[in-house]
């Protein structure tokens, strides 16, 4: 079950906790919509972040955990001046998506290796990406300037 944790008034932060199940992903999207609405963020801005959120959560859930292992994912949305910051922390096996090779989109379809398009979509949706491994957790931070 997901838990939404709003911070006290005056703080522009929303946190949601999920289990590593695909059925939980819509709760992350609801949290993003809730946060964006509260902050008055434009719809086209939020749409790109939904893509990044979907792709990253799908990768974590599909590839990060051993079959049947219960895991936890925490997502924090924060508004820092004119930048939306999304921090996604998971207890899956270590994986730095920033080290994954970029997909060559110029290759003909039959020559393209499988995988990597989701990471390309995440990269294209963000202005800045940061990764760290902290206390046994992968932490991906997505930053997007509000225009």
Confidence of residue 2 (pLDDT cuts 50, 70, 90): very low
- The single-letter DSSP state of residue 103 is P
- Is 58 a member of any domain? yes
Quick: pLDDT tens for 38-52: 999 988 889 989 999
pLDDT of residue 44: 86
Using left for φ > 0, alpha for ψ between -120 and 50, and beta otherwise, residue 5 falls in beta
Mean pLDDT for the stretch of residues 23-45: 94
Mean pLDDT for the stretch of residues 135-140: 96
What is the CATH number for 97? 3.30.565.10
What are the CA-CA distances from residue 127 to residues 47, 109, 122 (Å)? Answer: 14, 27, 10
Query: What does the block give as tokens for 11?
Result: 């703080």
- Is 8 a member of any domain? no
Confidence of residue 117 (pLDDT cuts 50, 70, 90): low
Q: List the domain range (segments joined by +) for residue 112.
A: 15-145
Mean pLDDT for the stretch of residues 112-140: 80
Helix H or strand E encompassing 127: none
- Is 130 a member of any domain? yes
Domain count, the chain: 1
Mean pLDDT for the stretch of residues 48-73: 93
Question: pTM higher than 0.75 for the full model?
Answer: yes
pLDDT of residue 1: 37
- Is 4 a member of any domain? no
Query: What does the block give as tokens for 107?
Result: 């290759």
30-34, 54-58, 93-97, 123-127: least confidently modelled range: 123-127
pLDDT of residue 101: 60
User: How far is residue 141's CA from residue 128's CA, in Å, rounded to a whole number?
Assistant: 8
pLDDT of residue 108: 54
pLDDT at 127 over 70: yes
């Amino acid at each position: 079950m997901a838990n939404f944790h709003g911070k006290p008034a005056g703080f522009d932060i929303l946190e949601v906790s999920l289990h590593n199940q695909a059925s939980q992903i819509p709760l992350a999207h609801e949290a993003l919509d809730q946060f964006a609405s509260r902050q008055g963020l434009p719809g086209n801005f939020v749409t790109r972040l939904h893509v990044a959120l979907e792709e990253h959560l799908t990768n974590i859930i599909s590839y990060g955990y051993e079959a049947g292992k219960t895991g936890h994912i925490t997502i924090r949305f924060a508004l820092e001046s004119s930048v939306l910051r999304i921090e996604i922390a998971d207890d899956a096996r270590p994986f730095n998506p920033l080290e994954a090779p970029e997909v060559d989109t110029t290759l003909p379809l039959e020559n393209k290796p499988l995988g990597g398009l989701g990471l390309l979509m995440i990269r294209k949706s963000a202005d800045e990406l940061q990764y760290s491994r902290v206390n046994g957790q992968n932490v991906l931070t997505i930053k997007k300037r509000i225009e």
